[in-house]
Amino acid sequence: METTLRGVGVSHGVAIGEVRHMGTAVLEPPARQITADEAGREQGRARQAVSAVAADLIARGQLAGGEAQHVLEAQAMIAEDPELMADVDRRIAVGSTAERGVYDAFAAYRDLLAGAGEYMAGRVADLDDVRNRIVARLLGVPMPGVPDSDEPYVLIARDLAPADTALLDPALVLGFVTEEGGPTSHSAILARALGVPAIVALPGAGEIAEGTVIAVDGSTGDLFVEPSDEKRAELEAAAAERKAALAASSGPGATSDGHKVPLLANVGGPADVPAAVEAGAEGVGLFRTEFLFLDDSKKAPSEEKQVESYRKVLEAFPEGRVVVRVLDAGADKPLDFLTPADEPNPALGVRGLRSLLDHPDVLRTQLTALAKAAEGLPVYLEVMAPMVADRTDAKAFADACREAGLKAKFGAMVEIPSAALRARSILQEVEFLSLGTNDLAQYAFAADRQVGAVSRLQDPWQPALLDLIAMSAEAAKAEGKSCGVCGEAASDPLLACVLTGLGVTSLSMGAASIPYVRATLAKYTLAQCERAAAAARAADSAEEARVAAQAVLSGE
């Protein structure tokens, strides 16, 4: 009998197939005391296992490329964290086996993260995955993971670690559903990059029996258990219609009455550029530069290395707009040479622009490298600062850009509610705004984007978040300046129409979402988008906002 469940749709498309469940995670290893003579051998076993797991994560990342590579390289750094390894060695020295020492050391660090505020707590899933891989290797058992199957299936898991998500085979894994996670979790981001329909934050999905036929609609978040023939036909028809619309859509982003909305790509480095170009991106709306700095947490990359990497991206978009975000370190991206080690709540401490202003040499080197990388290229370079709180921050960043001789537009990211509330003041110092809706929602609702239990508050359809976006767009319009969105909100085609109606001037997203957004925008006039935006803001919940906007656009 057909039943319907609802989670959070995070990757477009429809998947219909039999359920296969993810293998169970590694359990707690047995406690066994070792003698002092055995300690050296056990410490060596632990180090070998850690090195092997780190190497495996890096290899998986290189195979996957793009966004997945950056995520997995960050996990490898977790595995080889020197403080964690020192704790493992101490535990083994007083009688623990290698596997028990690893398990207990990671458990202690896990407790620290869980108690360090919601933002850091969201990294617990990544930490658990690294621990499980090390313990499995030490126990000599295979790491539970994606099931073996000769036939295509829909994968259900409590959550998916980046190492598993990155290497999913779209020919076999038709789609996936997780009980935890959120719309901006690593699994969601990687699902969009793979083009696999996906739903997250669906409690109870794990209770669906192996082999049950389900239908997953990654656009709406609906999961249909044992769908009827009629429902299958309905979903397949809708999917075919979307596919036809995508094939017919090309060129610059615009509404049906010709209002231009440039569609840009979010990239994490040169490896992401080919997909962006293939999708028809009109430029880059968010060039994350952290990938260069995560290679070595002990010191910043040289100016020469930065110039080389930046130029590869700039060259790919002649006459296009490339918006570069300077280093956003801190919180979940700590760097030894930049990030304070003793902050009680790193998400609310010295991160983003605050870190760079405390280390002006790092900021100066990056800005100088960007200036040199753009020399002689017909690209429209724009540089923006993360975590801008007020006009003082904006002025400090603009002054640093001018001192570095940067011939580019200077901008500020709106990720902190204070920046949205005082956007017009900030625009006295900078030339554009870019809304990072992931962090803006996180700070507006005190809801970590990695924690499934608060995923409803991370929903970009929340009317309060739409209010903050509207305030920023209205301020930019009043000042005659631009205001784009580079958060995951832009990847939702329906929400892209609402954002356009709110006055947002450009949309930046993962490359895989660009065709969907382009095709949807082309169906509606600017006036329809404005009416849909007004209806969404008048709602009292994210779900009501979505329904209201859809009703306006469908003419109901």
Tell me, what's the pLDDT at 177?
95
Contact of 384 with 415, CB cutoff 8 Å: no
Give the pLDDT of residue 249: 76
Average pLDDT score, the chain: 88
| Arithmetic mean of pLDDT, 49-75 | 81
Q: What is the pTM of this model?
A: 0.71
Burial class, 148, CB count within 10 angstroms (exposed 0-12 / middle 13-18 / buried 19+): exposed
**Do the beta carbons of residue 449 and residue 437 sit within 8 Å?**
no
Q: Which two tokens stand for residue 57?
A: 């994560």
Neighbours of 444 (CB within 10 A): 20
**How confident is the model over 490-505, as a mean pLDDT?**
96
Task: State which amino acid sits at residue 134.
Answer: I
Cβ contact 99:138 at 8 Å: yes
Please name the residue that has the structure tokens 């003579």.
37
For residues 143 and 162, give the distance between their C-alpha atoms in angstroms, rounded to a whole number: 14
Q: What average pLDDT does range 194-205 have in this prediction?
A: 89
d(CA 446, CA 458): 9
Q: Residue 52 is encoded by which pair of tokens?
A: 């092997």
Instruction: Look at residue 3 in the predicted model and tell me its pLDDT.
Output: 86
Q: How confident is the model at residue 205 (pLDDT cuts 50, 70, 90)?
A: very high
- pLDDT confidence of 116, banded at 50, 70, 90? very low
Amino acid at 80: E
- Find the radius of gyration of the CA atoms of the chain: 24
Q: Which helix (H) or strand (E) holds 313?
A: helix 303-315
Buried b (16+ CB within 10 A) or exposed e, 68-78: bbbbbbbbbbb
12, 186, 359, 529: the active-site residue: 186
Question: Which of the 8 DSSP states describes residue 159?
Answer: -
Residue 451's pLDDT band, with cuts at 50, 70 and 90, is low
User: How much is the pLDDT for 334?
Assistant: 65
Residue 41 vs residues 38, 45, 52: alpha-carbon distances, Å: 5, 6, 17
Nearest to 339 by CA among 324, 358, 325: 358
Query: What pLDDT was estimated at residue 25?
Result: 63
Question: What is the Cα–Cα distance from 502 to 433, expressed in whole angstroms?
Answer: 14
Instruction: Please state which of the ranges 52-56, 115-119, 340-344, 497-501 shows the lowest mean pLDDT.
Output: 115-119
Phi-psi region of 287 (alpha: psi -120 to 50; beta: other; left: phi over 0): beta
Residue 120 pLDDT = 43
Q: How far is CA 476 from the centre of its chain?
A: 26
CA-wise closest residue to 286 among 384, 365, 390, 368: 384
Q: Which of 83-92, 110-119, 428-437 has the highest mean pLDDT?
A: 428-437
Q: Tell me: the pLDDT tens digits for 329-354?
A: 866 566 776 777 677 777 788 889 99
Q: What pLDDT score was predicted for residue 118?
A: 41
User: How would residue 66 be classed by pLDDT, with cut points 50, 70 and 90?
Assistant: low
- Inform me whether the pLDDT recorded for 536 exceeds 90: yes
507, 457 Cβ separation under 8 angstroms: no
Kindly state the average pLDDT of the residues 477-496: 93
Q: Any bridge partners for residue 19, and if so which?
A: 154
Whole-number Å distance between alpha carbons of 218 and 209: 20
Q: Which of 401, 486, 497, 529 is catalytic?
A: 486
The pairing of strands 213-217 and 198-200 is unpaired
Identify which has the larger pLDDT, 65 or 81.
81
What is the reported pLDDT for 123?
60
DSSP-assigned beta bridge partners for residue 53 = none
Q: Which of 107, 473, 16, 57 is nearest to 261 (CA)?
A: 473
Between CA 43 and CA 435 the distance in angstroms is 47
Query: Is pLDDT at 34 greater than 50 in this prediction?
Result: yes
What was the pLDDT predicted at 333? 64
Confidence of residue 522 (pLDDT cuts 50, 70, 90): very high
Higher local confidence (pLDDT), 55 or 248: 55
> Mean per-residue pLDDT for 93-117?
81
Q: Please confirm, yes or no, whether 486 is among the known catalytic residues.
A: yes
- Above pLDDT 90, what percent of the chain? 57
List the Cα angle 333/353/392 in 5-degree steps. 155
d(Cα 401, Cα 413) in Å, to the nearest integer?
A: 15
408 compared with 114, residue with greater pLDDT: 408
Q: Read off the amino acid at residue 235.
A: L
Distance separating alpha carbons of residues 175 and 205, to the nearest angstrom? 13
Confidence of residue 132 (pLDDT cuts 50, 70, 90): confident
pLDDT for residue 526 is more than 50: yes
Q: Is the pLDDT of residue 281 over 90?
A: yes
What average pLDDT score do residues 496-509 get?
97
Q: What is the pLDDT of residue 1?
A: 65
Q: Which range has the worst mean pLDDT, 185-189, 314-318, 489-493, 510-514?
A: 185-189
Task: Report pLDDT for 117.
Answer: 42
Which stretch of 196-210, 411-425, 445-459, 520-534 has the lowest confidence by average pLDDT? 445-459
Query: Residue 210: what residue type?
Result: E
Contact 502, 469 (CB under 8 A): yes
Residue 251: CB atoms within 10 Å: 10
Res. 452 pLDDT band, cuts 50 70 90: low
pLDDT digits (tens, 9 = 90+) for 1-31: 678 899 988 888 899 999 999 876 656 888 8
- pLDDT above 70: percentage of residues in the chain: 92
Q: What letter represents residue 22's amino acid?
A: M
Position 122 pLDDT exceeds 70: no
Instruction: Render pLDDT for 148-194 as a digit per residue (tens, 0 to 9).
Output: 788 999 999 988 877 777 778 888 999 999 998 777 666 777 787 77
Q: Three-state SS for 265?
A: strand
Rounded mean pLDDT, 301-313: 93
The Cα–Cα gap between 554 and 556 comes to 6
- Edge-to-edge strands of the sheet including 8-11? 3-6, 222-225, 213-217, 14-21, 153-157, 173-178, 198-200, 8-11
Least confident of 10-19, 423-432, 469-478, 525-534: 10-19
Return d(Cα 228, Cα 222) in angstroms, integer. Answer: 14
| Both structure tokens of 212 | 């049950």
pLDDT of residue 56: 87
C-alpha 208/C-alpha 212 separation (Å) is 7
